[in-house]
Structure 1
């Protein structure tokens, strides 16, 4: 083999590893907004990788190599602006009723259902009918959340004035307010309460959990129309995770129902 030929052959061998890496390098970056919404996302602005959203993103990245999903910290109030300005491509665990009406987006049904429920302190004479009427009761709510009983209006002034609500950024704080008699009723997601009672089993007997549901969270993903991934493609990725059992593995422990998606 002549010297120029040997040189070309060595160059080709050196280039092969780079060629093998091309598929991963060509993966399109998809930025997923991560707002504090426990147990789905927990303090992403502090660099925490706990919660269900990081698990879902990891499962999506393991399942395929065309897209690389990354988390971008945002907040409940700021997520709309980040979405409109293109700082994030996608908002996950959302609902079209939660302030998205006037924002261009593509909706993808995630096939996940959670619920918002009422929790009060357990007292000897207190039964389920305690939750039938909210008027005159002190409510502990999560700031920025859209509640059905309030017609999905998240304005803190309206919630405080019209519904006698105290707003915090912590479900734990709201439940403690109930346990200490500083609030009559807290609204929490069923998934969060399930996790809370696992961590605080001793207080389970002190809490009365409503059979009444404020709303069923049917979760959707909101994609920017110019996002690197289409709604159809993202729906297929989620369907793949359902079929492989990954969705059930991630969400079932938190009593989040994995339900069929129409059209699958």
Structure 2
């Protein structure tokens, strides 16, 4: 008859062997496209985790263990193909009207709102009516952005021809063009301008910010049909971050409004 210690040791070894043979319940990997869209994502190809998207991903991962969210660098023009081809599972801080119409997807309302505003150099005789008419003015715009005043046509040639626009990949460059008199008006997101003024305290008095809003950004997540997470599940994770105050902590400092989300099922869109 074996000793109790020997029996216990054999039992422990058997349990360890079974645990090695059984597949582990690993978290589902969910790849989120990270395109340069400051202050949401800042040059993700550089490998630096800067911007609001990395903060949101960190909060999502800390709140549960069923999914592991990771960032995959992409670009504003390339993100459509990356989602369609399955290189990424989700595009975030999006709107279904921004070129997604012909791509099968599910949308999830994130309950976040930002705004696109006009900025000009502050001059003694310049008032808010300066922003009422854009004709004859030189515009500084961000490449790939869909502007309401331009009927959401993001083609650089169209913007240059019809709106005398210079298109760049930098809000900082566009604001510098305005400050140096090389452009009359730049369009920037309210969140970015808030961050810019924090980094450039002396500049705020040199710029005139419009009361006019080009558009309200109501942010959605765009999921591919075969994504490892469903729209309903992702919506519940976001709601959890709203309930525990994480959404407000991340976005409120940048004047991004956390707004109520209607209680409805995520909307699916299947291209013809």
Say whether the fold is shared (TM-score over 0.5).
yes
**1:21-60 alignment, distance < 5 Å:** 22-23=24-25, 26-60=26-60
- Say yes or no: does 1:117 pair with 2:117: yes
For 1:9, which of 8, 11, 20 is the aligned residue?
A: 11
Structure 1 residue 2, shift from structure 2 partner: 2.8
- Say yes or no: does 1:102 pair with 2:99: no
Superposition TM-score, scaled by structure 1 size:
0.95
In the other structure, the counterpart of 1:81 is 81
Runs of at least 5 residues in structure 1 that lack an aligned partner in the other structure: none
| CA deviation profile, 1:56-108 (whole Å, cap 9, x unmatched) | 00000000000000000000000001011000000000001111111110000
Structure 1 residue 10, shift from structure 2 partner: 3.5
Superposition TM-score, scaled by structure 2 size:
0.92
Structure 1 residue 191, shift from structure 2 partner: 0.1
Structure 1 residue 48, shift from structure 2 partner: 1.3
Runs of at least 5 residues in structure 2 that lack an aligned partner in the other structure: 265-272
In the other structure, the counterpart of 2:127 is 127
Q: 2:245 & 2:14 partners in 1: Cα distance?
A: 42
| CA deviation profile, 1:15-74 (whole Å, cap 9, x unmatched) | 69869x944xx2100000000000000000110100000000000000000000000000
Structure 1 residue ranges (4+ consecutive) displaced by more than 6 angstroms after TM superposition: 16-19
Q: 2:2 & 2:168 partners in 1: Cα distance?
A: 76
- The 3-state SS of whatever aligns with 1:152 is coil
Q: 2:243 & 2:154 partners in 1: Cα distance?
A: 36
In the other structure, the counterpart of 1:173 is 173
- Give the stretch that moved more between structures: 1-10 or 223-232: 1-10
- The 3-state SS of whatever aligns with 2:37 is coil
Q: 2:93 & 2:126 partners in 1: Cα distance?
A: 34
Structure 1 residue 11, shift from structure 2 partner: 1.2
- Say yes or no: does 1:206 pair with 2:206: yes
- The 3-state SS of whatever aligns with 2:173 is helix
Q: 1:245 & 1:15 partners in 2: Cα distance?
A: 43
Distance 1:54 1:160, change over 3 A: same
- Say yes or no: does 1:234 pair with 2:231: no
**Number of residue pairs the alignment of both structures matches:** 262
- The 3-state SS of whatever aligns with 1:126 is coil
Q: 1:228 & 1:193 partners in 2: Cα distance?
A: 35
- Say yes or no: does 1:66 pair with 2:66: yes
Q: 1:237 & 1:179 partners in 2: Cα distance?
A: 42
In the other structure, the counterpart of 2:267 is none
- The 3-state SS of whatever aligns with 1:56 is helix
Cα RMSD of the aligned pairs, angstroms, is 1.9
- Give the stretch that moved more between structures: 133-142 or 8-17: 8-17
